[in-house]
Structure 1
Amino acid sequence: MQIIHHGAVNGVTGSCHQLDVNHHSKHISSYLIDCGLFQGAETAGQSSAEQLQITFDINNIKALIVTHCHIDHVGRIPYLLAAGFNQPIYATTATAALLPLVIEDALKVGVTRDTTLIQACINRLNKLLVAVDYGQWITLPINLGESSSSRLTSTTAGINTLENPPGYTKAKLKFKPAGHILGSAYVEIDLSSPKASSTSNAKTSAKTSHRVVFSGDLGASYAPLLASPKSPYRADTLVIESTYGDKNHQGRKDRSKQLKNIIEKAVKDNGVVLIPAFSIGRTQELLYEFEHIIYRNKNNPIWQDIDIIVDSPMAANFTQKYRQFKMLWDNEAKRKLAQGRHPLDFNQLTTIDSHQDHLAVINYLDSVNKPAIIIAASGMCTGGRISNYLARFLSKPTTDVLFVGYQAKGTTGRDIQTYGPQGGYVYINELKIDIKATIHTISGYSAHADQHNLINFVKRMHHNPSHIRIVHGDDEAKQALAQEYRRLIPTAEIVIGKE
């Protein structure tokens, strides 16, 4: 067995991991786990074409397995299809419903407006998509190999391998809830083969198996809407994210109180509050939290009068999908529905659809002395409608910008977060914008697990992994998490993932 990383090892974007089975055999079978887009500093020195092209051999890849449909995990799928990939694409039922919407939007924004080309890509995607329910084992296609003894090792090239591969003859896949966004999952892949052993008089057979777990992006505990992920029973090899491997989030009550206080102070001067948020996941969690605050503050005119604007047609589509799949909500959210409340659809919520309406809202807010909360993508301010709001309002002292999610190195969001409190500037739409707005960060609303969650994910397994490969994080986060895992399982091999 061999694992090769094609992304998310030098940072937090471009997630793409290749699992080779029977690597030393002519019967090699490969599975691709995610195929995401690079963003921020990880695109430095590369042209758009270089960032998108599939540079690895796809001839032996028997399936693509999608953990969830954030663009940094699925954004290169159209280019994988263009390279000739024609194998099954496995995803949870909810992810399979969301993925065509995400890919269509990504193509419109970053590639082409040619509806014929876009529809051809979506049609091809839909033909290959296989929806799988959580907790259901399915058999993956595999080439047959020969049996022999095996031992797990690692190499300096960022590959972990089984020497003398056992010739696995069966591969199974199961999705388990990851609690990150709707439909998100971590992946269990069970490799097995009957292995014959001889004695003096007879042959007996025993089963050789190895279980590989890919975490995808794990959700934080006690996040709104979705239940927290539960650890797998077993993992022999674990490939795990480390976005917040060196940090812990605020508690739920603290972050909700901080959100309420920031908004109340921010709107006293009648300025706008800009919240960059991804269309899927973070936007819905924020709506859920705002509905809760409004419900709890029925006698507070600030909360009863303020407009909450979601300026994103994609976010509106995804919010509708969240309602459609409400059976996946956690118990708290289901109780609110039973009480007749509508956590994702309340009176003060306005959704902006067309680009013309988007520009009209910016002009309106710039001409009136009235506070408003605007939630718009992209979550790292690398494009999308939030850029137009920032270009107009970032230089106004009455503006507040609230970051509720991770800002990768090299993104506009990270620059605002870093230089804004110092009175610095950023370039948006090729214009130099002085930052006079007040900048806030609430880490507790991250959809990613923090260090405590990542440790518990491993700690609560009944059978600890013998090999852990840490990916999807800045160097400091990966190193800090590796140190914690070495304390937790001294006998395990802990490796920082490399391409």
Structure 2
Amino acid sequence: MEFPVLSHHGGTRGVTGSCHQLHLDHGVSLLIDCGLEQGADASPGAESAPLGFDVGSVQALILTHVHIDHVGRIPALLAAGYRGPILCSEPSAKLLPLVLEDAYRLSISREPVHVAHYLDILDELIISVPFGHWHDVAVRAGVEYRIRLQRAGHLLGSAYVECDVRLVEGDSRWVFSGDLGSGRNPMLRPVQPPERADVLVLESTYGDRLHPQRSNRRRQLEAAIDHALADRGTLLIPAFSLGRTQELLYEIEDILHHKSLLSDTAASARDGLDWSQLPVILDSPLAQRITSAYRELHDYWSAEARGRVGEGRNPLGFDQLVTVDTHARHQQVVNYLKSTRRPAIVLAGNGMCSGGRIVNYLKAMLEDPRHEVLFVGYQAKGTPGAAIQASEGKQGLVQIDLDGQGYEIRAKVMTVEGYSGHADQAGLVRFASQGAQPASHVVLVHGEQAAKKNLGQGY
């Protein structure tokens, strides 16, 4: 067999479950991501299923970022006996235990002793690697390899992986993109294409489309807030805890900041709202922990975001932000907003309305036209979120089933495009082609077949 050789254990049938193994020699390999297949890609019992491959040769696990579809099978990896290093960026090293602890409690065990043991193992294995610095993984007879993490712009801490392999037969550089950002998240620093790639393993999630401009989405978000609050109702935003919630809070803070500065205008007088007092309710314990970690990691924010902090603003901890921790408090907030006419903005998980605290808000408010549901992310087919989103603009009676009970959708429904965290076709082509030595061989993963086909034709 001629090395290096690449094998895939996920991320090839669709857009989830990324897990790629780079074999460097007999009994020597690297694992890039160990993600869980989700949604339509998932097999029954995927959370607890065995890995399906031997981990004996794996010298290191390298993580591109901490979304579950890239890290969700780490419990299975540990159960298979892996005790090598888990290499990731410094922000990812802080976020990873939060994400995996929550997933472990939901799908494996809530027993405190089990959770503590699991977190202790993770703590021993996680090694943070600074962006832009080469890290020697190991040197064995006839095999040398090192990795470097570069910012990917998809999520705070997200990285693409450069792997230099030096064998007797010659040197090669393999680049694994992970998930590449769209360049429109104002909190994140932009991605720079790799200077060189002999082989590029490239995501293709949005390989068949182009994104709207960031300025358009911000205007749409502000218009959605205005529209919802014109009836003095509640604006419900289903959002995932990691990444999307923090991006939304950042933009909502900016919108409210500027509206407060204009509070004496005639328009503000007409709407009757005191924008400086409008509550923004974050109702998700995990999102709160992650948002707190994001605040501590402000050194990794973009120049724009750090500039706001320098102005004395707190984009992720502003005065109007109200956090809801306990379930009892959650029920109180739901009942209060349902029974009063006080306007509010609520961000609650999960993003596709298939569970989590957003469901109780929907049960309480979907049948009241004063309220509005705002979607800012993809809604998978078959989810309640997709059904609610499909009612947008429809006339007549539309019903939705939530926990076995039917509800009429009388609330307003809107969708704001442009909040995807993934690069579009133009961004992916740029990444692959604009380095000093563009990729000579590209392997497309993490996308539907149509997206891969279109991206391949566009490259």
- Aligned-partner residue type, residue 92 of structure 1: S
The separation in 1 between residues aligned to 2:327 and 2:64, in whole angstroms, is 31
State whether structure 2 residue 12 is matched by structure 1 residue 9: yes
Whether the 8 Å CA contact 1:40–1:411 is kept in 2: the answer is no
Deviations 1:285-340 (A, max 9, x none): 11111111112112133633422111112212111211211111111111111111
State whether structure 2 residue 33 is matched by structure 1 residue 34: yes
Cα displacement (A) at 1:350: 0.5
- Aligned-partner residue type, residue 435 of structure 2: M
Q: Aligned in 2, Cα 1:110/1:360: closer, same or farther, shift over 3 Å?
A: farther
Map residues 143-154 of structure 1 onto 2, 5 A cutoff: 144=141
Whether the 8 Å CA contact 2:201–2:443 is kept in 1: the answer is yes
Whether the 8 Å CA contact 2:12–2:445 is kept in 1: the answer is yes
Secondary structure of 2:438's partner? coil
Q: Aligned in 2, Cα 1:60/1:409: closer, same or farther, shift over 3 Å?
A: farther
**Aligned match of 1:67:** 64
State whether structure 2 residue 457 is matched by structure 1 residue 480: no
**Aligned match of 1:357:** 329
**Aligned match of 1:384:** 356
Cα displacement (A) at 1:437: 3.0
The separation in 1 between residues aligned to 2:80 and 2:406, in whole angstroms, is 39
TM-score (norm. length: structure 1): 0.84
Q: Aligned in 2, Cα 1:56/1:408: closer, same or farther, shift over 3 Å?
A: farther
The correspondence for 1:123, drawn from 88, 102, 120, is 120
The separation in 1 between residues aligned to 2:354 and 2:21, in whole angstroms, is 28
Q: Aligned in 2, Cα 1:416/1:476: closer, same or farther, shift over 3 Å?
A: farther
State whether structure 2 residue 301 is matched by structure 1 residue 339: no
Cα displacement (A) at 1:250: 1.9
State whether structure 2 residue 252 is matched by structure 1 residue 280: no
Deviations 1:216-243 (A, max 9, x none): 1111113221111111101111111122
Secondary structure of 2:418's partner? helix
State whether structure 2 residue 442 is matched by structure 1 residue 462: no
Map residues 21-420 of structure 1 onto 2, 5 A cutoff: 21-22=24-25, 27-43=26-42, 46-48=43-45, 52-141=49-138, 144=141, 169-195=143-169, 208-298=170-260, 299=263, 300=268, 301=273, 303-418=275-390
Cα displacement (A) at 1:107: 1.4
Whether the 8 Å CA contact 1:425–1:432 is kept in 2: the answer is yes
- Aligned-partner residue type, residue 195 of structure 2: Y
- Structure 1 unmatched ranges of 5 or more: 146-168, 196-207, 486-499
Q: Aligned in 2, Cα 1:338/1:480: closer, same or farther, shift over 3 Å?
A: same
The separation in 1 between residues aligned to 2:383 and 2:162, in whole angstroms, is 32
The separation in 1 between residues aligned to 2:390 and 2:443, in whole angstroms, is 30
Secondary structure of 1:440's partner? strand
Secondary structure of 1:141's partner? strand
Whether the 8 Å CA contact 1:38–1:51 is kept in 2: the answer is no
The separation in 1 between residues aligned to 2:207 and 2:393, in whole angstroms, is 25
Whether the 8 Å CA contact 1:275–1:375 is kept in 2: the answer is yes
The separation in 2 between residues aligned to 1:311 and 1:267, in whole angstroms, is 19
Q: Aligned in 2, Cα 1:233/1:72: closer, same or farther, shift over 3 Å?
A: same
Cα displacement (A) at 1:127: 0.9
- Structure 2 unmatched ranges of 5 or more: none
- Aligned-partner residue type, residue 40 of structure 2: A
Secondary structure of 1:48's partner? coil
Q: Aligned in 2, Cα 1:233/1:275: closer, same or farther, shift over 3 Å?
A: same
Q: Aligned in 2, Cα 1:411/1:209: closer, same or farther, shift over 3 Å?
A: farther
Identity of aligned residues (%): 46
Whether the 8 Å CA contact 1:29–1:143 is kept in 2: the answer is no
- Aligned-partner residue type, residue 21 of structure 1: L
Q: Aligned in 2, Cα 1:419/1:10: closer, same or farther, shift over 3 Å?
A: farther
The correspondence for 1:446, drawn from 420, 435, 442, is 420
Question: Aligned-pair RMSD on alpha carbons?
Answer: 2.0
The separation in 2 between residues aligned to 1:109 and 1:131, in whole angstroms, is 26
Whether the 8 Å CA contact 1:211–1:234 is kept in 2: the answer is yes
Aligned length: 444
The separation in 1 between residues aligned to 2:206 and 2:274, in whole angstroms, is 34
Deviations 1:227-263 (A, max 9, x none): 1111110111111112222222221221111110111
**Aligned match of 1:158:** none
Deviations 1:110-152 (A, max 9, x none): 222101111111111111111111111111236545xxxxxxx
Q: Aligned in 2, Cα 1:473/1:411: closer, same or farther, shift over 3 Å?
A: farther
Q: Aligned in 2, Cα 1:333/1:3: closer, same or farther, shift over 3 Å?
A: same
The separation in 1 between residues aligned to 2:380 and 2:452, in whole angstroms, is 14
**Aligned match of 1:154:** none
Cα displacement (A) at 1:14: 1.6
Cα displacement (A) at 1:415: 3.6
Deviations 1:272-297 (A, max 9, x none): 22112121211111111111111211
Q: Aligned in 2, Cα 1:297/1:231: closer, same or farther, shift over 3 Å?
A: same
Q: Aligned in 2, Cα 1:13/1:411: closer, same or farther, shift over 3 Å?
A: farther
Whether the 8 Å CA contact 2:27–2:56 is kept in 1: the answer is no
Q: Aligned in 2, Cα 1:307/1:269: closer, same or farther, shift over 3 Å?
A: same
- Aligned-partner residue type, residue 291 of structure 1: E
- Aligned-partner residue type, residue 59 of structure 1: G
Secondary structure of 1:108's partner? helix
Q: Which moved more, 1:290-299 or 1:405-414?
A: 405-414
